[in-house]
Structure 1
Amino acid sequence: MRKSTSCTNKPRRWRLSARIEQWLPFLWRLNKLIQLAGIALTVCLVAMAGFLLYLRAQSLPAANISQTSQMFDLQGHVIDTFHTGENRRSVPLANISPNLVQATLAVEDRRFREHSGFDMKGMARAAFVNLESLSKKQGASTLTQQLARNLYLTHERTWTRKLKEAMYTIQLEMTYSKDEILEMYLNQIYYGHGAYGIESAAQLYFGKSAEDLTLAESTMLAGIPKGPKYYSPYMNMKNAKDRQKMILQTMADQSLITQAEADATYDELLSLRTLGEGSQEGFAPYFRDYIRLIAVDKLGIDEQLLTEGGIRIYTTLDSSMQQAAEAAVAEGMPESSEMQAALVAIDPRSGYVKAMVGGRNYKANQYNRVFAKTRQPGSSFKPILYLTALQEGGMTPVSQFKSEPTTFTYDEGRQTYEPSNYNDKYAHEFIDMRRAIASSDNIYAVNTVMAVGPEKVINMARRLGIDSPMKPVPSLALGTFPVSPFEMASAFGTLAFGGKRVEPTAILRIEDRRGDVIYEAKPQETQVVEPAHAYVLTSLMESVFEAGGTGYRVSAMLKRPVAGKTGTTSSDAWLVGYTPELATAVWVGYDKGRSITPAEAHRAAPIFATFTEKALEAVPPKIFPMPEGVVSVYIDPASGLLASAACKDKRLETFVAGTEPALPCGGHSEGTAGSSNGADLQELEDMHEEKHRSWWSHLKRWWGE
């Protein structure tokens, strides 16, 4: 029995050992495979770590995202934008409505804050849905992937593009925080109709900032980037509302809002702007061109920075005054007429350009006539002549010349000049400066330029900011050398501001896209004319709008003190004038120098009056402030002497202190202010005769001084 048992057990042990030996090679190979797998996994992990470190060390490509630059008026309203087809304004995430942020994340990337750039659950879900339907109904791109594609890549469907997209997605997630990625996405995504970024979209669709968007507005906008043409409420309201409903339901399912809020929001009526509403395409176009010219040519702003850099240009334009200017020009010019017009208004106290109309139809002709140095100012130039006479020529408001046809000789008697008054109307008697300015007497003006010297008049024009070419000839007195309306408004502004010249300013400051100031205007005041002389001339120019003045026809339209001067040539009509707050130049005429009729010559004054009153309707009327060194006395207009009881007429006249007459009319001192200075009536007659001698003798005397 034992033998039998022993013999039976031995083969079993042998068989077990044999089986183990049989599995040993397999186990050995399995162990090797595990070791190799471990090594491979380690290599993969090291390679992956190295790849991530490599990506971390690499800089992302430069994202060439253009941003819309904006132009603002004096009140901070946008009056124009500059862009190259992409209307974009970037704003911080903090300035974007939380409603919009939640709606966007709900519909585009609900696990945005959980994943690291790739939503594996979303990818699996999309793959299952697409497999089930045998189509590509769902995508699984995260916001980071979309941002990488939009910032750095095209939308072509190639493996190379997809690989680059994955790399850039990883880099974005490693480089920026979730809030930074979300901010970049919301400022970059396209919302249709040229609006890039949520700020531009909010302004385009609802006329408000992104931070003020309601839940209804946010859910409407959040649905558009999926297909701007398909889901734009302007293109298909039903599609837009259907997608809004889906987004609201998604937000309710995610407990971001209640179901009641979702239903009520869907039923809310949205106040969409009319497409294009609020764009300033037709507003102040000549001024906008001027700003662009200054920014690029004078301030050196790069054209690309202007159109793509997102800069902000803050200007001096007063939109209400601009509207008044455009309306005044439109109302003052018949639609059927081919006449053109220009208007520019400057605040004399600051130099701010408040309004500008360079023509009647910008779309038809972009030429800005405000800066045209091809038009003769005519008699509107005379105040510069008379200012020179008052300050440097020894003349006063009662200096007299005889208004009659006169032949003037100059250039040592070799040349003559025979000016004439409008319609050949002459007083045929001695008139003083006030009457000469009011009636625009040309003979008086030429007598004045000959007595003062034309070079002094040119020098005065230069001090007032007029740099147009001029020659020292007698016709200078009648404004025969072209001057731009802009120069005239600026020069008259100096008179309005008591002789202080402030360089005209149209751009206050320029900020870059971060809000840093890259340019800021610093207007300088310069006293170029003595205040007393500026005030005396202003007083004289007020007579233009009084009885007998060339501007009297519009005096009823003016409800405030205004000083000014008309000007008429064969092809131009002007009115340049000012109040203490505003200096305005108005020109009308034909571009090709065609002659104007007497009726057409009267169109400048009503435009000036209409604009001035409308522009200043909220400003109480003010008198011109009288500086020190000015006195007012009653004079006898006929003789220019102090008024006395023996004088028929009396007129209160303004003088620079010390230049007022001292001798009373009739040669008596009783009952008059001031004392005799030794002059008598014969001396006055002699003075009249002396002032009518040849211009050359006066010029020689001036040179000899």
Structure 2
Amino acid sequence: MMKFRIGQSGGRKRRLPVSIQLEKWMPLLARVKRWLLYSGAALLLMFIAAFCFLYYLRVQALPASAISQTSQMLDAQGHVIDTFHAGENRQSVPLKQISPYLVEATLAIEDQRFYDHLGFDMRGMARAALINVEHMSRKQGASTLTQQLARNLYLTHERTWSRKLKEAMYTIQLEMHYSKDEILALYLNQIYYGHGAYGAEAAAQLYFGKHASELTLAESAMLAGIPKGPKYYSPYMDMKNAKDRQRTILQTMVNQGILQQEAAEAAGAELLSFVPLGTSKQTGMAPYFRDYIRYMAVDKLGIDERTLSEGGIRIYTTLDPDAQRAAEEAVAAGIPEDSEQQAALVSIDPRTGYIKAMVGGRDYRSNQYNRVFAKTRQPGSSFKPVLYLTALQEGVLTPVSQFKSTPTIFTYDEGRKTYSPSNYNSKYAGDFIDMRQAIASSDNIYAVNSIMTVGPEKVIGMARKLGIDSPMKPVPSLALGTFPISPFEMASAFGTFANGGVRMEPTAILRIEDSKGKVLYEAQPASEQVVDAAHAYVLTSLMESVFDTGGTGNRVSAMIKRPVAGKTGTTATDAWLVGYTPELATAVWVGYDKGRKLTSVEARRAAPIFASYTEAALSAIPPKIFPLPDGVVSVYVDPDSGKLAGKGCPNRRLESFVSGTQPVEVCGLHGDAGSEASQENSAREEKSRGWWKQLKRWWTN
């Protein structure tokens, strides 16, 4: 009888049925199935959570970044002449206005894979981790530009897990909200380059005195190395460290295939020229004008102080840099360096009202008081043209009206008061003089006679039309400039004379734009014909005599190579010369802040400053005569009689009159009969000369 052993057949191992095998593995398969199900669900939940988190970050607005931007003041040529900032000197510019060399150098040393990663450089992080483990310390970081930007924009530099988590979130948001170029532009405009300079533009100006777009390869490599440690790598702090890092950056650019080795070596060997710290390029030119611009922008135009200091606005001004330099040099040269005497100069284009130059004192650093606007200085005789213009326009006087130049006592206020003026150094003509002679010699007796004739109230009215709003009283001494007026008011008033009687509102700010180029303000200067053009021209003609032989400005006439009109003014404590050409009206004042009396030498310093400035400021402009308006006639007169000059008059003088006010009677003091023939000959001669004079004027213009 045969016996069988279970599991064996013919000496071979016997297989279990398939059903029995499946039953054996079913528990394990069930566990795997459950694990896969749970894992899939978990992964799905994680994916959904990640999607929701990313969507949340995408729709969530980034925090408001409080990045201040330096506001700029620009001159009439569009050049930055000064800045306004609150601690941080920052001038944001588009990426295209930053040198490609600086862009490449920055990426090479800070974030080589910037355009390849999504905010986090995993490869860089792994490499940095290996290096740190190898040295058992933090030798290398792996922050991308986006991470640095997130940290600098929104966070502090504290080392906490919450700060790191926020940094990661903001990094992701930046990558979601901005393109790579936009992130790079934000970074290059935000990063600190040392010495108060934030951003590439401010750094380029600070170190090299140029725009970021103008940086060379060598300069860019130098700047790119500074943000890692401004105190350590600034060329102002340690030139050796700065050069070593510059060469490291250049070699890194070679290793990345950005540069050829020869170019890197040449840039590393280049001798760079740095702007010394604390120079005028950084402190700005025209500081008194800058303060005036701040006052106008904030107090008059309503620009917020914070916007001015941190908003990155651009203020386009009327300042002419060449005229400003000429003004500063003229003032500096006009007064000895060791003197305590002060000076002020303001110059306006009479055709537009644009302020071209302003010097409020000799040393802004020691004294910021702007004397251009000081209403504490008596203009003296420089005020007389306002009086004479009033008399001419009122028709009570003409250029040949005469008064006797002798000591005179005047009564006024219905005879209750008297006034006894005197001439400078008690010098009198002792005879009758006319208006031209009175203006040239600055005769006080003639001036007081004139104001008594026309009336002081009308003179004040004329002053108001000319833009002079300083307090005045209707008394005879007004004729001699006894009421204080600022140099600014005087320059503006004389500009009206130069502009044919049209007063242009003085203008310093042409336009203000915000950081994005939106126009916040644009000037629309008011203009008004306050004086008849013919009367303004006659006054100008009379004031040209100040620089002729015998005039109070004659000693500087050789310095001025162009037609000029003006008036000097001297009191015990103040000396002036206010004058103009067709292109510039300028007021110069010299004196002491505390009202100390001037010596005769000190009182003569205003005129040379005026002459030196005027010629330098207009050196590139051909001389022009004052344009002759309609309604003006010129005839030869006899100064002694004030009548038409006869053939026998020895001192005949060509004089301009408003048409209809010229004399018609011929002088008979020198053997002339005063016949009609003489008058006709004189008129014929004058007509001929008048045509020639007008032709010369047309040709010169």
TM-score by length of 1: 0.92
Where do residues 71-86 of structure 1 align in structure 2 (5 Å cutoff)? 71-86=73-88
1:668 and 2:674 matched: yes
**CA distance change for structure 1 residues 345 and 369 in 2, over 3 Å: closer, same or farther?**
same
Indicate yes or no: 2:91 matched with 1:68: no
- Is 1:124 aligned with 2:126? yes
After TM superposition, give the deviation of residue 671 of structure 1 in Å: 5.2
The residue aligned with 1:192 is: 194
What does residue 4 of structure 1 align with? 4
Preserved CA contact (<8 Å) 1:343 1:356: yes
Q: Please list, as runs of the form range in 1=range in 2, the aligned pairs for 1:131-530 lying within 5 A after superposition.
A: 131-277=133-279, 279-281=281-283, 283-530=285-532
Spell out, residue by residue over 1:467-508, the C-alpha distance to the aligned partner (whole angstroms, 9 max, x if none): 111111111111111110000000001111111111111111
What is the SS of the residue equivalent to 1:191? coil
Contact 1:68 1:310 in 2 (8 A): yes
Task: Spell out the pairing of 1:657-696 with structure 2 (5 A cutoff).
Answer: 657-666=659-668, 668-670=674-676, 672-673=678-679
CA distance in 1, matches of 2:534, 2:260: 75
- Residue 191 of structure 1 contacts residue 224 of structure 1 at CA under 8 Å; is this kept in 2? yes
Please tell me the residue identity of whatever aligns with 1:580: P
Could you tell which deviates more after superposition, 161-170 or 172-181?
172-181
Residue number in structure 1 paired with 2:699: none
Measured in 1, the distance between the counterparts of 2:348 and 2:678 equals: 42
SS in 2 for 1:532: helix
Amino acid in structure 1 at the alignment position of 2:306: Q
Cα shift readout 1:327-371 (whole Å, capped 9, x = no counterpart) = 111111122322211111111111111111111121111111110
- Partners of 1:377 and 1:483 within 8 A in 2: yes
> What are the Cα deviations for residues 202-250 of structure 1, in whole angstroms up to 9, with x where unaligned?
2222233222322222222222211122222222222222222222222
Match of 1:32 in 2: 34
The more displaced of 400-409 and 4-13 is 4-13
Equivalent residue number for residue 541 of structure 1: 543
Match of 2:467, SS state, is coil
CA RMSD of aligned residues (A): 2.1
Deviation at 1:183, TM superposition (A): 1.2
Report Cα offsets for 1:180-214 as digits up to 9, x if no partner. 11111111111122221112222222233222322
**Shift in CA distance, 493/23, structure 1 to aligned 2, threshold 3 Å:** same
Does the residue aligned with 1:435 lie in a helix, a strand or coil? helix
Identity of aligned residues (%): 73
- Structure 1 Cα separation of the partners of residues 213 and 362 of structure 2: 39
Q: What is the CA distance between 1:128 and its match in structure 2?
A: 1.0
**Can you list the C-alpha shifts for 1:507-530, whole angstroms capped at 9, x where unaligned?**
111111112221111223321111
Structure 1 residue 289, shift from structure 2 partner: 0.6
Output the CA distance in 2 between the equivalents of 1:357 and 1:619.
22
What is aligned with 2:631?
A: 629
1:7-22 matches, cutoff 5 A: 8=8
**One-letter amino acid of the structure 2 residue matched with residue 373 of structure 1:** K
Per the normalisation by structure 2, the TM-score is 0.93
Report what 2:50 is aligned to.
Answer: 48
* Aligned equivalents of 2:403, 2:618: Cα separation in 1: 38
Tell me the CA shift for residue 79 of structure 1: 1.0
Kindly state the Cα deviation for residue 669 of structure 1 after the two structures are TM-superposed. Answer: 2.6
Distance 2:594 2:395 in 1: 38
Change (3 A) 1:535 1:97: same
CA contact (8 A) 1:643 1:672 kept: no
* 1:275 Cα deviation from its structure 2 partner: 3.3
TM-superposition CA deviations, 1:291-322 (whole Å, max 9, x none):
11111111111111111111111111111111
CA distance in 1, matches of 2:603, 2:248: 67
Cα distance, 1:111 vs. partner? 1.5
Distance change in 2, residues 1:660/1:393 (3 Å): closer
SS at match of 1:279: helix
Q: Is the 8 A contact 1:644 1:671 kept in 2?
A: no
CA contact (8 A) 2:313 2:513 kept: yes
Other-structure match for 1:595: 597
Distance 1:424 1:479 in 2: 18
Counterpart Cα distance in 2 of 1:280 and 1:602: 35
Measured at CA, do residues 66 and 445 of structure 1 come closer, stay the same or move farther in structure 2, by a change above 3 Å?
A: same
Please give the per-residue CA displacement for 1:518-544, whole angstroms capped at 9, x wherever unaligned: 111122332111111111111111111
Aligned in 2, Cα 1:87/1:549: closer, same or farther, shift over 3 Å? same
- Contact preservation (8 Å) 2:82, 2:284: no
Of the candidates 624, 629, 640, which is equivalent to residue 638 of structure 1?
A: 640
1:380-399: CA deviations, max 9, x gaps? 10000000111114211010
| Cα displacement (A) at 1:16 | 10
In structure 2, the CA distance between the partners of 1:209 and 1:338, relative to structure 1 (3 Å rule), is: closer
Q: Which moved more, 1:418-427 or 1:303-312?
A: 418-427
CA distance in 2, matches of 1:527, 1:675: 37
> Which secondary structure does the structure 1 equivalent of 2:113 belong to?
coil
Is there any run of 5+ residues in structure 2 with no aligned partner, and where? 683-701
Q: Take 1:419 and 1:196, find their aligned partners in 2: how far apart are those partners? A: 63
Q: CA deviation at 1:25?
A: 3.5
User: 2:566 is paired with a residue of what secondary structure?
Assistant: strand
1:702 corresponds to: none
The amino acid across from 1:548 in the alignment is G
Q: CA shift at 1:11, angstroms? A: 9.8
Q: Equivalents in 2 of 1:448, 1:248: separation in Å?
A: 79
Provide the rounded CA distance (Å) in 2 between the counterparts of 1:568 and 1:625: 30
1:143-192 per-residue CA deviation (whole Å, 9 max, x = no partner) reads: 11111001100111111100000010111111111111111111111112
Change (3 A) 1:219 1:645: closer
Equivalent residues of 1:663, 1:669 under 8 A apart: no
Given that residues 79 and 280 in structure 1 are in contact (C-alpha distance below 8 angstroms), is that contact kept between their aligned partners in structure 2? no
- For structure 1, which segment, 339-348 or 93-102, has the greater mean C-alpha deviation from structure 2 after superposition? 93-102
- Partner in structure 2 of residue 619 of structure 1: 621
Conserved 8 A contact 2:87-2:196 = yes
Q: Distance in 2 between matches of 1:383 and 1:592?
A: 28
Distance 1:408 1:278 in 2: 55
**Counterpart code for 2:393:** Q
8 Å Cα contact 1:345-1:354 kept in structure 2: yes
Q: CA deviation at 1:122?
A: 1.0
